[in-house]
Amino acid sequence: MLLLLSIALFLALFTVYDQVVHRKGLDYLWDTQLRFHRWILEGVSVSPWQYRVFSPYVIEGIIRILQELGHPAPHALVFVAFRVLQNMAIFTLCGLYWRRLGVSRNAIIIGLMCLAWGMTYAGYRSHLAFDTYSDVVFYLIGGLLVLSRRDFWLVPLTALAALNRETSALLPFLLPAARLEVRSRLHLDRKTTVIWIAGLLIFCIIYVGLRLTLGPRAIMTPYDRTIGLDLLFYNAANLYTYFSLFATFAFFPLLAMVRWKQWPHVLRRFFWVVMPIWVAVHIFASVVAEARLFLVPYVLILLPAALISLGGEEGRLRRLAAKSSTG
């Protein structure tokens, strides 16, 4: 665990230095990032940003505590520190979650380094997007809870995640995906069903409640493209879409898919409840070149599946080498 935390801290510092200091510059924090942060706090941001309140309110709470302690303007410091904590949490949770799936320790280290490298390319033309990275954290915690059978905690986790980002709607579905039994007919036990429905209800209550409380907002139109076919054609015609996706994810998704039969059963089920709707929604409603938007299915499903596939191939090659050396 100490080794994992050390690696996670190192990779967090590396990615944040590249994302914040090298690519954007510290002036960016006092200009664009602070302005965007205040828009949400003042209730003047557009949809859906205005309704993603968890991360900005946590950040603002930390800022006010530091101001009470005598720091007059800690905003940039808190922005950087919060991103470091987010990235460290992502790397640590990835290590724990992947290990639960059966990924070897050596493959986990390689996977974390590849993830860190890819994350440096994932922030195409966006602010620090704290809500996106918190979303990754929530899904990894959700995956760990399901794999460790601490199902009840998925309900309060969903409540927090719903305050953070609307993509958390799929989080409760991880539970029935993992627990569904195929007998003469599909079967889901009562406890699992109750927890699943409770998670869905609390997401819906918070989703609707935020919009009723904060009121309607104009819908964001990225690069003046309307949601639907306009954004789909833009994504398909934008060459940077393909560069950004490859720079962030490399060949890992392709490697995972060609080794589909080697995936753990639970990963294949997570794939079907997350991937189709996640990809469909984002190619029609977002700029795909912003590859950070696909980090959730990547770290939750595709990257661990690829690492497991690599581990299986490594074992096969070792057996062949041992056989040839004894022959």
Q: Are 13 and 116 in contact (CB under 8 A)?
A: no
pLDDT number for residue 52: 94
Q: For every one of its 327 residues, what pLDDT tens digit does the chain have, with 9 covering 90 and above?
A: 889 999 999 999 999 988 887 777 778 888 888 999 999 999 888 889 999 999 999 999 999 999 998 888 899 999 999 999 999 999 999 999 999 998 989 999 999 999 999 999 887 777 888 999 999 999 999 999 999 999 999 999 999 999 999 999 999 999 999 988 776 566 778 888 999 999 999 999 999 999 999 999 888 877 778 889 999 999 999 888 999 999 999 999 999 999 898 899 999 999 999 999 999 999 999 999 999 999 999 999 999 999 988 875 444 434 434 444 344
User: Which 3 state secondary structure label does DSSP give 126?
Assistant: coil
pLDDT number for residue 143: 96
Reference 137, options 55, 29, 248; nearest CA is: 55
Query: What is the C-alpha to C-alpha distance for residues 83 and 186, in angstroms, rounded to an integer?
Result: 42
Q: Are 250 and 119 in contact (CB under 8 A)?
A: no
pTM of the model: 0.92
Q: What is the DSSP string of 140-204?
A: HHHHHHHHTT-GGGHHHHHHHHHHH-GGGGGGGGHHHHHH-EESSSEE--HHHHHHHHHHHHHHH
For residue 3, the 8-state DSSP code is H
- Torsion on CA atoms 132, 120, 122, 83, rounded to nearest 10: 10
Structural domain for 19, as ranges = 2-326
Residue showing tokens 């309307």: 226
Number of domains in the chain: 1
Task: Compute how many other C-beta atoms are within 10 angstroms of the C-beta atom of residue 48.
Answer: 17
Question: Which alpha helices (DSSP H) does the chain contain, by range?
Answer: 2-16, 26-28, 34-42, 54-68, 75-101, 105-119, 130-147, 154-164, 174-179, 190-214, 229-237, 239-249, 252-258, 265-285, 295-297, 303-326
User: Which 3 state secondary structure label does DSSP give 288?
Assistant: coil
